[in-house]
Amino acid sequence: MVLYHSPKSSASRRVRLCLEEKGLAYDARVIDLSRQEQHSEAYLKINPMGVVPCMIHDGRPLHESGTMCEYLDAVFPDPPLRPRDAYDLALMRNWIRYVDGLIGNLIKFNWRHGLAQRAAQMTEAEFQAMIAKVPSAERKEAWRRAAREPYTEAELDEARANLLVMLDRMEGMIRGDGLIGGRYGLADIATAPFVRRIDEEIAPEALSPSARPKVAAWWQALTARPAFARADFAPFV
């Protein structure tokens, strides 16, 4: 198994955490997003979508972290990371979909580090050539903002508020050590990279036991897992 990934990308962190929970060996190859290696000819041959992470298993490429994790759980079912109950499984998929939809809020914080500085050093022509390769209009605009017109405090506040709504929803969902069905699994894994960044920079106080006791205990248990240490959620800054 080969994993093309970026150490700090939230989607890459998800897949690494899933692989580590499964105890699977993989050949991790870093794609440097700040150098746009995801849009290089070589990488586009591997993954025409030009995104990380992407894995190659049995000679076949697969992208999209949520899909990759479900695939890993189907092909390597031990330990199981999805609920067996069809309804809980549906709730798990809807939760991951909801978290996926929050990525725009996370990017506003994440791209201020490293990527923005590198883009700021580009000439206008270099910068335009770079974002011309970004397929998503939303991501193009996020690049432009990060590099050329940094998000205002009001915009960051709004993004932070959206992420806190996620924490509030979690506080109402957690039972035992999991978001879905009372067991740790792919829903928790999908959410961990978001909570890591909230803890690190965006709103650490929101994770205190007095603010959200269930989320605080969930996060403490998650970060204590051996797989979490191996998955490398290293500091951004």
Residues engaged in binding its own copies (CB under 8 A) = 58, 60, 62-64, 66-68, 70-71, 74-75, 86-87, 89-91, 93-94, 97
* Distance in Å, CB of 58 to its own copies, minimum: 8
Closer residue to its own copies in complex, CB, 70/188 = 70
What phi-psi label fits residue 36: left (phi over 0), alpha (psi between -120 and 50 degrees) or beta? left
Closer residue to its own copies in complex, CB, 101/209 = 101
- Residues 49 and 117: their CA atoms lie apart, in Å, by 25
Closer residue to its own copies in complex, CB, 179/222 = 179
* Distance in Å, CB of 126 to its own copies, minimum: 26
* Distance in Å, CB of 186 to its own copies, minimum: 13
8 A C-beta contact, residue 50 and residue 43: yes
Closer residue to its own copies in complex, CB, 64/199 = 64
* Distance in Å, CB of 100 to its own copies, minimum: 9
- Dihedrals phi, psi of 23, to nearest 5 degrees: 70, 30
235, HSE (Cβ side, Cα atoms, 13 Å):
3
Closer residue to its own copies in complex, CB, 107/222 = 107
* Distance in Å, CB of 208 to its own copies, minimum: 27
What phi-psi label fits residue 101: left (phi over 0), alpha (psi between -120 and 50 degrees) or beta? alpha
Coil, helix or strand at residue 114: coil
User: How far is the CA of 167 from the CAs of 110, 133, 137, in angstroms?
Assistant: 18, 34, 28
Closer residue to its own copies in complex, CB, 119/187 = 187
8 A C-beta contact, residue 203 and residue 164: yes
* Distance in Å, CB of 62 to its own copies, minimum: 5
* Distance in Å, CB of 35 to its own copies, minimum: 26
Closer residue to its own copies in complex, CB, 45/60 = 60
8 A C-beta contact, residue 81 and residue 185: yes
Give the contacts of 93 (CB within 8 A, at least 6 positions apart).
Answer: 66
Burial 140-152 (b: 16+ CB within 10 A, else e): eebbebbbeeebe
